[in-house]
Amino acid sequence: MSNMQNFSKGFFKENAVFVQLLGMCPTLGVTTTAFNGLGMGLATTFVLLMSNIVVSLIKSFIPDKVRIPAYIVVIASFVTIVDLVMAGYLPELHENLGLFIPLIVVNCLVLGRAEAFASKNGLIPSVFDGLGMGLGFSMALVMLGGIRELLGSLSVFGIQLIDMDGILLFILPPGAFIALGFLIAFINHLRKTT
Which residue type sits at 126? S
By three-state DSSP, how is residue 173 classified?
A: helix
Residues 90/112, Cβ–Cβ less than 8 Å = no
User: Which backbone phi and psi does 2 adopt, to 5 degrees?
Assistant: -75, 165
**pTM for the whole structure:** 0.92
Per-residue confidence in pLDDT tens, the chain, 194 aa = 678 877 888 887 888 888 888 888 888 999 999 999 999 999 999 999 999 999 999 999 999 999 999 999 999 999 999 999 999 999 999 999 989 999 999 888 899 999 999 999 999 999 999 999 999 999 999 999 999 999 999 999 989 998 888 899 999 999 999 999 999 999 889 888 87
By three-state DSSP, how is residue 52 classified?
A: helix
- Start-to-end CA distance of the chain, whole Å, equals 21
Q: Report which of 24, 2, 19, 16 is spatially closest to residue 191, judged by C-alpha positions.
A: 19
Q: How many residues does the chain have?
A: 194
- Beta pairing, strands 155-156 & 159-160: antiparallel
Q: Report which of 146, 155, 132 is spatially closest to residue 183, judged by C-alpha positions.
A: 146
Distances in Å between the Cα of 68 and the Cα atoms of 29, 46, 73, 113, 129 are: 26, 20, 9, 12, 19
